[in-house]
Amino acid sequence: MALAIALVIAVITVISVYVFWAHVWWLPVDVSTHGASIDHQFMMTLIMTGIVFVLAQLGLAYFVWKYRDRGDRRPAKYSHGNNALEITWTTAAFIVFVGLNLLGYRSWASMRFTPAAADALRVEVWGEQFQFYFRYPGPDGQFGPTHVNLMNDATGNALGLDRDNDPASKDDIVTATLAIPVNREVELILHSKDVGHSFYVRELRVHQDLVPGMAIPIHFTASEDALNYNGGRYEIVCTQLCGLGHYKMRAFLQVMTQEDFDKWLKQQAEEQQ
């Protein structure tokens, strides 16, 4: 029986390693300029935790077999273990985890704590149950104020803009598709109207929560490759369980050339003015 359990553990270990080694379920293509550092961090974490996983599992299988019941009814012995060894690997694990965090922090902070470029395209992302809206500031570069009492999806004014009385709102463009130009930095400012949501575009390696009452900035650049896959169209999904319709909360990101983007934005503005 001990041998069978040990073999099962070993087989599970081998299958798990194969799934990652052969890229059975793997990351989609990266179409961002910062994605390489995220993928590098992911690979480094995967390799280090993978080695520990394999050693731990094979060790477990070995000990299950080594200390099997041999039928000679010998009494079990208590072993306190080895203090020096315990301290060594606890310290090693601590160093590895803190080190991974410090390395990953650089990639993470570069999108959040450093300011976006001055010429970055600024777009607001608004989440609500169960829909994303996107707001472009228009030619004045200013987002007008939002008024809760005017928010009404059924009248097409989901963000509660008062275009008649707020000059900054007059040229704001609200859409349900996020279009961005390629090779230009984009700064998203994330808001939620109701509960926690999350903005995730796998191919852009951009993942950030939307928190009610907060305006959370994040910036990134879609690389030239972004135009080459799926016609530049990528799915934006909510990854924070936000209610009954969470499974359907999504939108689409369309990456375009700057020229096409300008045309698209103009068309949206004409529809809304």
Partner 1 sequence: MKIPRALWVAGMAVTLLLAGCSKKQETAEETSAVPSEQPAGGTPVDPATAGEITGKVTFNGPKPKLAVLHMDQDPVCVQKHSSPVYAEDGEVNGNGTVPNAFVYVKEGADKYTFPAPTEAVTLDQNGCLYKPHVLGIMVGQTLHIISSDPTTHNIHPLPKNNPEWNQSQAPGAPPIDKKFARPEVMIPVKCNQHPWMRAYIGVVKNPLYAVTGEDGTFTIKGVPPGDYTVEAWTATWGTQDQKVAVSPKGTATADFTFKPGAGT
213: left (phi over 0), alpha (psi -120 to 50) or beta: left
Q: Is 240 in the site for partner 1 (CB under 8 A)?
A: no
Q: Which of residues 241-260 bind partner 1 (CB under 8 A)?
A: 243-245, 248-252
Tell the smallest beta-carbon distance from residue 120 to partner 1 (Å). 24
Q: Is 264 in the site for partner 1 (CB under 8 A)?
A: no
* Widest CA span in the chain: 91
| Interface with partner 1: number of residues (CB under 8 A) | 27
Coil, strand or helix at 81:
coil
Both tokens assigned to 198: 């999350």
Tell the smallest beta-carbon distance from residue 122 to partner 1 (Å). 20
Q: Is 142 in the site for partner 1 (CB under 8 A)?
A: no
Q: Residues 126, 133, 220, 234: which binds partner 1 (CB under 8 A)?
A: 133
Q: Which of residues 31-50 bind partner 1 (CB under 8 A)?
A: none
Cβ proximity of 161 and 227 under 8 Å: no
* Distance between CA atoms of residues 102 and 107, nearest Å: 9
Q: Residues 72, 115, 155, 259: which binds partner 1 (CB under 8 A)?
A: 155
Q: Residues 154, 213, 231, 259: which binds partner 1 (CB under 8 A)?
A: 154
Q: Is 179 in the site for partner 1 (CB under 8 A)?
A: no
Q: Is 208 in the site for partner 1 (CB under 8 A)?
A: no
> Interface mask (CB under 8 A) for partner 1, residues 45-84, using x and -?
----------------------------------------
Q: Which of residues 93-132 bind partner 1 (CB under 8 A)?
A: 128-132
> Cα dihedral sign for 23, 27, 31, 36?
negative
* Distance between CA atoms of residues 213 and 192, nearest Å: 7
Q: Is 239 in the site for partner 1 (CB under 8 A)?
A: no
Q: Can you give the C-alpha Rg of the chain in angstroms?
A: 26
Q: Is 153 in the site for partner 1 (CB under 8 A)?
A: yes
* Distance between CA atoms of residues 4 and 120, nearest Å: 60
Cβ proximity of 35 and 225 under 8 Å: no
Tell the smallest beta-carbon distance from residue 154 to partner 1 (Å). 3
Give start and end residues of each alpha helix (H) in 67-129: 83-112
| Bond prior to 130 in cis (omega within 30° of 0) | yes
Which residues contact partner 1 by CB under 8 A? 128-133, 152-158, 174-177, 243-245, 248-252, 271-272
